[in-house]
């Protein structure tokens, strides 16, 4: 957004450089400048890394030692793992959402 607000900035070039549509950039600018609601929007500054961070694989030895571990495999290969301390109402909502 800061780049698009620079004097003489080409919005088309800024959008193209960052792989977004010009309509999205215009919408963000309007939100930032408060032209839609009369209030200015807040945006967080974000720095992008060239390589995404990889999460460490879970320790399978530690997870198999927990008592009451349950793995639910849904059609399509989605799996959910819970232990005996799972809230049953929350689990029902998650499973309903995953089933569609």
As a whole-number percent, the residues of the chain with pLDDT over 90 amount to 4
The pLDDT value recorded for residue 61 is 55
- Better-predicted residue by pLDDT, 16 or 48: 16
Residue 50 has a pLDDT of 63
What secondary structure does DSSP assign to 6-45, as a single string?
STT--HHHHHHHTT--HHHHHHHHHHHHTTTTSS------
Whole-angstrom distance between the N-terminal and C-terminal Cα of the chain?
A: 36
């Amino acid at each position: 957004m800061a780049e698009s607000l620079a004097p003489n900035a080409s919005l088309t070039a800024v959008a193209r450089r960052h792989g977004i549509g010009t309509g999205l950039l215009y919408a963000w600018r309007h939100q930032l400048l408060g032209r839609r609601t009369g209030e200015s929007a807040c945006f967080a500054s974000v720095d992008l890394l060239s390589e995404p961070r990889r999460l460490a694989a879970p320790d399978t030895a530690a997870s198999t030692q927990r008592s009451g571990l349950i793995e639910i495999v849904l059609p399509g290969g989605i799996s959910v793992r819970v232990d005996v301390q799972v809230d049953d109402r929350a689990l029902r909502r998650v499973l309903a959402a995953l089933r569609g």
